[in-house]
């Protein structure tokens, strides 16, 4: 019931408008009324508007569609703005969230990898879990070991490829130009596993119509978070409290299901033997 209520309240996220029939044949568009604004300047740069930075070349988090920026991160940002009683403005800031925040281009940034120590801004709790995962064609596939000499496909020059090489050796790694090719190799039986970011890999299987399942994690699960200036205390508190509400009321689950076909819970997925004993990898691959 909770998720159903959240889904109904998320008409703005899912891109629908509500049309009510009037007098049998006339109709009018219903526009939800904004809640009273929870924050104002100087916490946000523009009164009445939450300005949010995303990397618009990183689906499913954000990408271009018909001249608009859409994606999982955009929907989470829209839910945050709605809960705060603010309009939403989305800006493509590329892959440098720290610069966008320091320049005052945006109020917050989305899709910050909590395991990435090179990003120095404040990071919220994760709104979606992730980490390098191993996908197999069967949900019952065994967790591979280095001794079993598995064939594992991964996109060339990716963190996933680096983890495969580190944990299983270069003879196990089968590099592909993209994830589409990697999952095709899995479907064809050319490889036994695909290594990919858990979110991006799940999105690739969902949109590509592939049957693939996460059977192991090659990193301890971390996740993607909202970033803000560490000096903006009010914004940090506001985002933390609002995210907790969106998670508890099922809103984040609705958004995940829209983009991934399911919600991700990686907390009970087994780890490969070579997984670092510490937190998810913080080292940038060479």
Q: What is the pLDDT of residue 13?
A: 39
Tell me how long the chain is. 286
The pLDDT tens digits for 252-269 are 999 999 999 999 999 999
The pLDDT tens digits for 39-76 are 999 999 999 999 999 999 999 999 999 999 999 999 99
Confidence of residue 32 (pLDDT cuts 50, 70, 90): low
Residues 164 and 152: beta-carbon distance below 8 Å: yes
Phi, psi of 217 (to 5 degrees): -110, 140
The pLDDT tens digits for 206-244 are 999 889 999 999 999 999 999 999 999 999 999 999 999
Residues 260 and 205: beta-carbon distance below 8 Å: no
Structure tokens at 34: 């904004």
Q: What is the pLDDT of residue 35?
A: 85
Q: Which of 130, 129, 125, 80 is nearest to 225 (CA)?
A: 125
């Amino acid at each position: 019931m909770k998720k159903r209520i959240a889904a109904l309240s998320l008409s703005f996220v899912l891109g629908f408008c509500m049309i009510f029939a009037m007098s049998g044949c006339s109709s009018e568009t219903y526009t939800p009324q904004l809640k009273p604004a929870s924050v104002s300047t100087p916490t946000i740069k523009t009164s009445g508007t939450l300005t949010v930075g995303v990397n618009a070349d990183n689906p499913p988090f954000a990408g271009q569609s018909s001249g608009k920026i859409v994606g999982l991160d955009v929907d989470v940002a829209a839910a945050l703005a709605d809960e705060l009683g603010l309009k939403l403005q989305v800006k493509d800031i590329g892959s440098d969230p720290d610069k966008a925040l320091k320049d005052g281009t945006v109020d917050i940034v989305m899709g910050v990898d909590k395991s990435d120590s090179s990003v120095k801004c404040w990071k919220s709790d994760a709104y979606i879990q992730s980490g390098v995962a191993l996908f197999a064609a069967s949900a019952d596939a065994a967790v591979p070991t280095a001794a079993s000499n598995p064939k594992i496909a991964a996109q060339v020059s990716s963190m996933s490829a680096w983890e495969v090489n580190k944990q299983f050796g270069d003879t196990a790694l089968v590099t592909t130009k993209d994830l589409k090719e990697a999952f095709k190799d899995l479907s064809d039986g050319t490889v036994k596993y695909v290594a990919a970011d858990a979110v991006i890999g799940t999105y690739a299987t969902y949109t590509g119509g592939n049957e693939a399942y996460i059977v192991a994690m090659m990193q301890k699960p971390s996740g993607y978070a909202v970033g803000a200036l560490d000096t903006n205390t009010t914004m940090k508190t506001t985002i933390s409290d609002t995210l907790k509400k969106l998670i508890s009321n099922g809103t984040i689950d609705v958004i995940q299901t829209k983009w991934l076909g399911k919600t991700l819970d990686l907390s009970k997925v087994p780890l490969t033997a070579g997984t670092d004993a510490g937190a998810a990898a913080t080292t940038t691959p060479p």
